[in-house]
Structure 1
Amino acid sequence: MNIELKGRKAIVTGSTAGIGRATAEGLARAGASVVINGRRSARVDEAVRQMRQVFPDRDISGIAADLSTAAGAETVFAQAPDADILVNNVGTAHIRAYNGIEDIAKIPDEDWLGLFQLNVMSGVRMARHYLPRMVRKGWGRVVFVSSESAVNIPKEMLDYGMTKTAQLAVSRGLAEAVAGTGVTVNAVLPGPTRSEILGDFMAKQAEANGVTQEEAEQGFLKAMRPTTLIQRFATTDEVANMIVYACSEQASATTGAALRVEGGVVRFVA
C-alpha cells in the first residue's frame, strides 16, 4: 500500500517525542507538511530541526503551546489556522503503585481535572476549530490517540482510564456529526508502548531492580497486562503506522471506529 499525502497539512499535538513524533515522521514520509507541537520551545525547535534534516523536501514547522489550556489552543490556531489532518496525540498519565481502594481515594481533584484538561479537552478544542474547516473543504482526517486503557480500565491509573474512555465518546460523537461530509474521525488504541513516558518509567524500574529494561517490561506485562498476545511492548512506529493509515485516502471508509493496536491485550473480538 502506497500512502500518498502530498499537498495535505497535518497537525500532530504532543509530537516532540514518542508516538506523536513517530506519527509526525510517518506523515512526513507520506508527503504531508507537518506541524510539530509541544509545550517547550526548545524541544519543539529541536524536533523541527531533526525532522528537517531527515525530510529536507517537506514543510516542517513547530508551535510551542500548552494545549491543556484554551490560551494554548488559541496560539496554535493563530499560527496554523487550517489543516487537513489533525492527530490529537498529546496526553500524559500518573503512574502509581496500587495497594487497594485507599490509593484511589487519595487521587486529588487536581489530578483528575488536570488529566481531563490535557487528555480530553485539548482534543475537543482542536477538533472544534479544525473540523468545520475540513467539512467546508469536503475532506479531512481527525484521529484521537486513546488507549486500551479506555476499555480495559487500569485500577492503578483510574483517572487516566477515565480520560481515554472520554476520548472514545468524543471521537465517535464527532464522527456521527460529520457523517457524509468526506471527513472521518477515528480513535486509535495503543497498548503498552515503549514511548517516552512509559519507556522512561520502565528504564527507571529496571535500574532500581538491577535488570534490563526488557526484563522490566516483561515483569510489567506479566503483572499488569498478562493477556498480551505479542508478549512485548509495541514500538512507537508500530502505533504510528495505524495512525498514518487512518489519516490516508485509503481509510476513507473507516470512521467512528476505535482502531486497536494494543497487541491483543483486550480480550474481546469487536
Structure 2
Amino acid sequence: MIVDFTGRRVLVTGSTSGIGFAAARGFLAAGASVVVNGRGAESVAAAVARLGGPAAAVSGFAGDLATESACSRLVGDHPHFDVIVNNIGVYGPQDFFDIPDSEWERFFRTNVMSGVRLARAYAPAMVERGWGRIVFVSSESALNIPVDMIHYGFTKTAQLAISRGLAKRLAGTGVTVNAVLPGPTLSEGVAGMLRADVDRTGDSLEKVAADFIAAQRASSILRRAATVDEVANLIVYVSSRQASATTGAALRVDGGVVDTIV
C-alpha cells in the first residue's frame, strides 16, 4: 500500500509537538503540503524548521484556535484544505469539585469548538470538490472517563458525537469524518508529567511510563505507552484515499485499554 498525498493540502492543529507534530511529519513524508499550528509564533517557527522539507510544502499558522478570531484568521490566510486534523487539546488532572466554570469553558472551547468551527468553515468546499477528510483526535478517555479529569473526558466524548453526526450529515459526498482515540502515548507532555518519577527512581522514561500504565490503565493489552508515530500512522491512514470506506468511525489506537470487543 502506497499512501500518497501529493497535491493535497493538510492542516494539523496543535502540531508543534507530540501527536500533532508526528502526524504533520507523516503527511509531509507522504507528499502533502502541510500547515502546522501552535499558539505562539516561536514554537510554530521551530516546528516548521524541525520538519524541514521544501518551503512550499510546509508552513505555519500561529494562533489560539480556541478563539473564534484565530479560526477566522486561519480561514482567511488558508482558504483551502483537503484534510483537517483537529488535534489541538488541553488536559490536566483536577478534582471535579475544584473545577471552576472557567475551566469547563476553556476545555470546551479548545477541545471541541476549535474543531467545530474549522469543520464548519472547510467542509462545504470539500463537498463541492467531492473529496475531503476530517479527523478528530479524541481519546480513550472519551469512553473511560478519568475520575481525575472529568472535564477532559467530557470534551473527548463530545468529539465522538460530533464526528459521528457530521459523518452522517456529509453522507455520500466523498468527505469522510472520523475520530481517532489514542490511549496512553509518550508525547512530550506525558514525558514532562513523568519526569519527576524518572528522576526519583533512576528508571528509563519508558519503564516509568509502563509502570504508570500498569497502575492506572491495568486493562492495557500493549502494556506500554504508544509512541507518537504509532498514533500518527493511524491518523495519516484514515486521511488517505485508501480509507475511503471508513467514515463515522471511532478508531482506537489505545493499546487495548478500552475493554470491549467493538
Normalising by structure 2, what TM-score? 0.97
* Alignment partner, residue 69 of structure 1: 67
* Alignment partner, residue 76 of structure 2: 78
* Alignment partner, residue 100 of structure 1: none
Counting only pairs closer than 5 Å after superposition, residues 254-269 of structure 1 correspond to structure 2 as 254-269=246-261
**Following TM superposition, by how much is the alpha carbon of 1:210 offset from its aligned partner in structure 2, in angstroms?**
4.7
CA distance in 2, matches of 1:47, 1:230: 30
- Given that 1:193 and 1:199 are in contact with CA atoms closer than 8 Å, whether structure 2 keeps it comes out as no
SS at match of 1:156: coil
Is 2:28 the counterpart of 1:28? Answer: yes
- Given that 2:179 and 2:249 are in contact with CA atoms closer than 8 Å, whether structure 1 keeps it comes out as yes
* Alignment partner, residue 107 of structure 1: 99
Counting only pairs closer than 5 Å after superposition, residues 1-270 of structure 1 correspond to structure 2 as 1-52=1-52, 55-56=53-54, 59-96=57-94, 103-270=95-262
SS at match of 2:20: helix
Show CA shifts across 1:50-78 (max 9, x none): 212xx237611100010111011112111
Q: Which moved more, 1:205-214 or 1:81-90?
A: 205-214
**Following TM superposition, by how much is the alpha carbon of 1:200 offset from its aligned partner in structure 2, in angstroms?**
1.3
**Following TM superposition, by how much is the alpha carbon of 1:209 offset from its aligned partner in structure 2, in angstroms?**
4.9
CA RMSD of aligned residues (A): 1.3
**Count of residues in Structure 1 that have an aligned counterpart in Structure 2:** 262
SS at match of 2:181: strand
Tell me the amino acid that sits aligned with residue 92 of structure 1. Answer: V
Tell me the amino acid that sits aligned with residue 260 of structure 2. Answer: F
Tell me the amino acid that sits aligned with residue 77 of structure 2. Answer: Q
**Following TM superposition, by how much is the alpha carbon of 1:204 offset from its aligned partner in structure 2, in angstroms?**
2.9
Cα gap change, 1:63/1:226 in structure 2, threshold over 3 Å: closer, same or farther?
same
Tell me the amino acid that sits aligned with residue 115 of structure 1. Answer: F
Normalising by structure 1, what TM-score? 0.94
- Given that 2:65 and 2:71 are in contact with CA atoms closer than 8 Å, whether structure 1 keeps it comes out as yes
Tell me the amino acid that sits aligned with residue 28 of structure 2. Answer: A
Show CA shifts across 1:27-59 (max 9, x none): 11111100010000001011112212xx23761
SS at match of 2:245: coil
CA distance in 2, matches of 1:204, 1:143: 33
Show CA shifts across 1:131-189 (max 9, x none): 11100110000000000000111101111000000000000011000000000000000
- Given that 1:13 and 1:37 are in contact with CA atoms closer than 8 Å, whether structure 2 keeps it comes out as yes
Structure 2 residue runs of 5 or longer lacking an equivalent are none
CA distance in 2, matches of 1:204, 1:138: 50
Q: Which moved more, 1:139-148 or 1:198-207?
A: 198-207
- Given that 1:149 and 1:161 are in contact with CA atoms closer than 8 Å, whether structure 2 keeps it comes out as yes
CA distance in 2, matches of 1:204, 1:158: 24
- Given that 2:186 and 2:209 are in contact with CA atoms closer than 8 Å, whether structure 1 keeps it comes out as no
- Given that 2:37 and 2:61 are in contact with CA atoms closer than 8 Å, whether structure 1 keeps it comes out as yes
CA distance in 1, matches of 2:32, 2:42: 23
- Given that 1:90 and 1:119 are in contact with CA atoms closer than 8 Å, whether structure 2 keeps it comes out as yes
- Given that 1:28 and 1:58 are in contact with CA atoms closer than 8 Å, whether structure 2 keeps it comes out as no
Tell me the amino acid that sits aligned with residue 256 of structure 2. Answer: G
Tell me the amino acid that sits aligned with residue 15 of structure 2. Answer: S
